[in-house]
Chains A and B, each alone.
Chain A
């Protein structure tokens, strides 16, 4: 009896492991539709575009370069600096010859996770399943000259050897036009908007100081990526400052500290934000969608969308941002979407601005 029990338990363990492996995980074998999708994305994760192409159906008319551009990014976009982190699949439809697999994949990047979702048709070709991955060819912009003669501001400041009292140039005048403090996600968030009232551009930073009931300083923070820091003349930018772990009941007052600095800047590019609308995504979550169009002649490598939400009285209630993983080519619409909080209510208005990073114009 003493020998039988260990043997029985060992056999049971092996059996459970086998059963668990068979039923719980995803079959990574390309002999199934899901397996084909996973095999392709494994190669994508390794940036082996030729290897990934082996799992793509010939009917897709895709090349390794197409896959590289579509899944690995191009034009120094955010995707080129990201890596594929995980892929979750679910079969939506399946028969002997074809299947529809929903692939929800996520890239990790320096600015956070970038999610993408594709419903992929998988077809049987011989003994293997292959993924139909029709790559959208980027629209060709016809050769043309786009005259860009917008302003550029350069700054000459007072030199170190100038006399005391010699004139300098003043920083731009900025004004906070609205401010609201809300309690969300277990913390306090200070939201607002400011305008550059001057005729010169400025680099703007906004800080907030929370003062406690006894006049003590509770916390001090500045807006980082939830605002546009380079503000052109008469431009309005939202800002959002988060104070995690604090409650409004602890706060007596909020002291705002806007600072501006005169910086060289360029007035281009102009980016249009087209067809902004509220929709539900595949999970049923509300998102703000639209398209960005770069109306200049130069590629914008990393577009950054900042959305301001207002209630029906015009009070600012939330600021949300999101990065677009693809670069903005001239006159080529690029979709974007920003998540919308459920607790904002139905009657919300919104305004979208686009911050941009271009490799050949760092900091401008």
Chain B
């Protein structure tokens, strides 16, 4: 004790040497990739605490191996042997999976900026890949040129906004990273009817009214089942029939009248008007 007290500098140097030796043996990597094994030299039990994971590992032959399965979740891990501790960052591995949100599932034709696609890039352990990754978006409609754009992801997310094409039909919307691709279908449907027109002719039981093929302003046929309302005003009152478009046209049989005014509408779109008979 007296010797130590007389040589405090020597004691300090010895302690420093011991500590530096111990730290040199504590080889916890600062960064690693998710799913990879990590081996640490250790003579004591090692405690590992990370996102959704905590374990006590016993050393074997002077080292401890943290299995890749135990390091699946990316994030901050704390490794300790009771005397020393270190922070180890587990980073996502290579992109292996895409989650792709395409909105909406149906969209009217010829509308600007209505289709949005958002891709989330994940590795094979479901970790969001935060490093910038090029994501290729393709919007393909039969009979129209493919719209193709590559966007670098930011914080794991890449997105684009696109116009709908003038043609109705299913648009294949794909997002791809490397060899991984996800396909969604955006159904492009006819927009509001345009230039709605009808004609009328006498029938045995009344007046048969029939529209011309009902199309939107881009020339796409509105889908069957769309409601077209025929209204007849005559001396007996008003008659309305909510007819359905069938094979592209809507038709209805209105009651017989000597003179009448017949109009047609679909939703909030008005069509032509026919003055039937002599008066009115």
On A, residues with C-beta under 8 Å from B are: 149-151, 153, 163-165, 167-170, 177, 195-201, 232-236, 267-268, 270-277, 290, 295, 350-353
Contact A197 B120 (CB under 8 A): no
Q: What is the 8 Å Cβ interface bit string for chain B, positions 199-224, against chain A (1 contact, 0 not)?
A: 00000000000000000000000111
Partner of B120, one of A165, A199, A200: A165
Residue numbers in A under 8 Å from B104 (CB-CB): 170
Q: Say whether B101 faces chain A, with CB atoms less than 8 Å apart.
A: yes
Contact B240 A267 (CB under 8 A): no
Known contacts: A151-B224, A233-B223. The answer to whether A276 contacts B237 by CB under 8 A is yes
Report how far A273 CA is from B231 CA in the complex, Å. Answer: 10
Contact B240 A352 (CB under 8 A): yes
- The list of the 8 closest CB pairs from A to B, nearest first, reads A277-B237, A151-B225, A165-B99, A234-B267, A267-B225, A275-B237, A272-B241, A235-B227
Contact A199 B246 (CB under 8 A): no
On B, residues with C-beta under 8 Å from A are: 99-106, 120, 184-185, 189-190, 192-193, 222-229, 236-244, 246, 252-255, 266-268
Report how far A268 CA is from B225 CA in the complex, Å. Answer: 9
| Most chain A beta-carbon contacts within 10 A, residue among B120, B222, B241 | B241
Shortest Cβ distance from A273 into B: residue: B240
Report how far A160 CA is from B140 CA in the complex, Å. Answer: 29
Contact A274 B242 (CB under 8 A): no
Report how far A273 CA is from B103 CA in the complex, Å. Answer: 39
Contact B105 A169 (CB under 8 A): yes
Shortest Cβ distance from B239 into A: residue: A274
Shortest Cβ distance from A234 into B: residue: B267
Residue numbers in B under 8 Å from A270 (CB-CB): 241-244, 252
Residue numbers in A under 8 Å from B192 (CB-CB): 197
Contact B244 A232 (CB under 8 A): yes
Least Cβ distance of A330 to chain B in Å? 13
Shortest Cβ distance from A167 into B: residue: B184
Contact A277 B226 (CB under 8 A): no
Report how far A73 CA is from B215 CA in the complex, Å. Answer: 44
Partner of A150, one of B105, B238, B244: B244
Contact A199 B99 (CB under 8 A): no
Contact A274 B105 (CB under 8 A): no
Least Cβ distance of A40 to chain B in Å? 34
Contact A167 B106 (CB under 8 A): no
Residue numbers in A under 8 Å from B244 (CB-CB): 150-151, 232, 267-268, 270
Residue numbers in B under 8 Å from A274 (CB-CB): 237, 239, 255
| Most chain B beta-carbon contacts within 10 A, residue among A177, A199, A201, A277 | A199
Contact B101 A165 (CB under 8 A): yes
Residue numbers in B under 8 Å from A295 (CB-CB): 241, 252-253
Shortest Cβ distance from A351 into B: residue: B240
Least Cβ distance of A275 to chain B in Å? 4
Contact A170 B105 (CB under 8 A): yes
Contact A199 B102 (CB under 8 A): no
Least Cβ distance of B74 to chain A in Å? 18
Contact B241 A273 (CB under 8 A): yes
Report how far A150 CA is from B99 CA in the complex, Å. Answer: 38
Contact A200 B106 (CB under 8 A): yes
Can you list 9 A-B contacts (CB < 8 A)?
A170-B106, A195-B267, A198-B106, A199-B189, A232-B226, A233-B226, A273-B240, A290-B237, A351-B240
Report how far A236 CA is from B229 CA in the complex, Å. Answer: 10
Known contacts: A199-B189, A234-B226, A235-B227. The answer to whether A164 contacts B99 by CB under 8 A is yes
Report how far A103 CA is from B4 CA in the complex, Å. Answer: 125
Least Cβ distance of B252 to chain A in Å? 7
Shortest Cβ distance from A201 into B: residue: B225
Partner of A195, one of B190, B237, B242, B268: B268
Partner of A197, one of B102, B241, B243, B267: B267
Contact B238 A277 (CB under 8 A): yes
Residue numbers in B under 8 Å from A350 (CB-CB): 238
Contact A275 B239 (CB under 8 A): yes
Contact B102 A167 (CB under 8 A): yes
Contact B226 A199 (CB under 8 A): yes
Known contacts: A165-B101, A234-B267. The answer to whether A273 contacts B239 by CB under 8 A is yes
Contact B240 A272 (CB under 8 A): yes
Residue numbers in B under 8 Å from A352 (CB-CB): 240
Report how far A164 CA is from B101 CA in the complex, Å. Answer: 9
Contact B100 A165 (CB under 8 A): yes
Least Cβ distance of B59 to chain A in Å? 40
Least Cβ distance of A294 to chain B in Å? 11
Contact A233 B105 (CB under 8 A): no
Residue numbers in B under 8 Å from A277 (CB-CB): 236-238
Shortest Cβ distance from B240 into A: residue: A273
Least Cβ distance of B134 to chain A in Å? 19
Residue numbers in B under 8 Å from A198 (CB-CB): 106
**Told that A170-B104, A196-B267 touch, could you supply 4 new A-B pairs with CB distance under 8 A?**
A164-B99, A169-B106, A170-B106, A274-B255
Known contacts: A273-B241, A276-B238, A276-B240. The answer to whether A149 contacts B246 by CB under 8 A is yes
Contact B255 A153 (CB under 8 A): no
Report how far A274 CA is from B256 CA in the complex, Å. Answer: 11
Least Cβ distance of A13 to chain B in Å? 58
Report how far A184 CA is from B46 CA in the complex, Å. Answer: 78
Report how far A218 CA is from B125 CA in the complex, Å. Answer: 51
Report how far A200 CA is from B224 CA in the complex, Å. Answer: 10
Residue numbers in A under 8 Å from B237 (CB-CB): 274-277, 290
Report how far A235 CA is from B226 CA in the complex, Å. Answer: 8
Known contacts: A165-B99, A199-B223. The answer to whether A276 contacts B267 by CB under 8 A is no
Report how far A350 CA is from B233 CA in the complex, Å. Answer: 12
Residue numbers in B under 8 Å from A236 (CB-CB): 229, 267-268
